[in-house]
């Protein structure tokens, strides 16, 4: 049974099991970069064919998001990904960044906003939150909880994250954890 206070689980994959070794990153390491990729052609450039095939059979991908946060980047805001209780994050170029999960002080729900790529989110400012948990998620493959406010605190090196989003009926974090256990990915 899952510990309800866990917000991330390391998967049985390595970065090289997922990321295509021929992928040409569209950014330099110390440049802020965020982009959504919504079509299979783009995914094939980023994720290797073997892992894409595995996902197509077990857990179909609907979006891949790429985030690069330079070492000088800092944000105190946090966000929720509405309707998306988890993401599979492949993290590399990271020495000591921390992912934080926070508790809103108010019970009044935040309005849903949309990024320029039409991705929904609910934004929170630092004074509206209390820290619940933080964890160093370094150079590996993780499922992370995204249905509570979360943010990244960048350390002394840039952090690149390839975040996979899946077509699934999973409605909450417990179901996500159980799904990945059933797949034998945890």
pLDDT tens per residue across span 113-126: 998 778 899 999 98
Which stretches in the chain have pLDDT values below 50?
1
pLDDT of residue 183: 95
Is residue 27 within 8 Å of 18, Cβ to Cβ? no
pLDDT tens digits for range 8-34: 999 999 999 999 999 988 887 778 888
- 0.75 surpassed by pTM: yes
Order of strands across the sheet with 129-136? Answer: 113-114, 120-124, 78-80, 150-153, 98-104, 129-136
Q: What's the confidence (pLDDT) of residue 74?
A: 73
Residue ranges and CATH numbers for the domains of the chain are 8-182 (2.60.120)
| pLDDT computed for residue 1 by the predictor | 47
Tell me what pLDDT residue 5 has: 66
């Amino acid at each position: 049974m899952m510990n309800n206070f866990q917000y991330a689980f390391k998967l049985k994959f390595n970065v090289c099991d997922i990321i295509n070794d021929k992928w040409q990153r569209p950014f330099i390491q110390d440049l802020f970069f965020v982009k959504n990729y919504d079509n299979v052609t783009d995914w094939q450039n980023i994720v290797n064919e073997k892992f894409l095939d595995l996902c197509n059979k077990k857990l179909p991908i609907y979006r891949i998001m790429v985030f690069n946060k330079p070492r000088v980047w800092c944000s105190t805001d946090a966000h929720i990904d509405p309707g998306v209780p988890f993401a599979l994050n492949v993290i590399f170029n990271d020495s000591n960044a921390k992912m934080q999960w926070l508790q809103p002080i108010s019970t009044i729900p935040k309005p849903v906003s949309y990024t320029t790529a039409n991705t929904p989110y609910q934004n929170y400012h630092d004074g509206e939150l209390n820290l619940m948990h933080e964890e160093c998620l370094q150079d590996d493959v993780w499922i992370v909880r995204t249905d509570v406010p979360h943010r990244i605190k960048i350390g002394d090196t840039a952090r690149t994250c390839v975040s996979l989003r899946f077509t699934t009926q999973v409605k909450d974090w417990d179901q996500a954890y159980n799904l990945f256990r059933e797949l034998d990915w945890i």
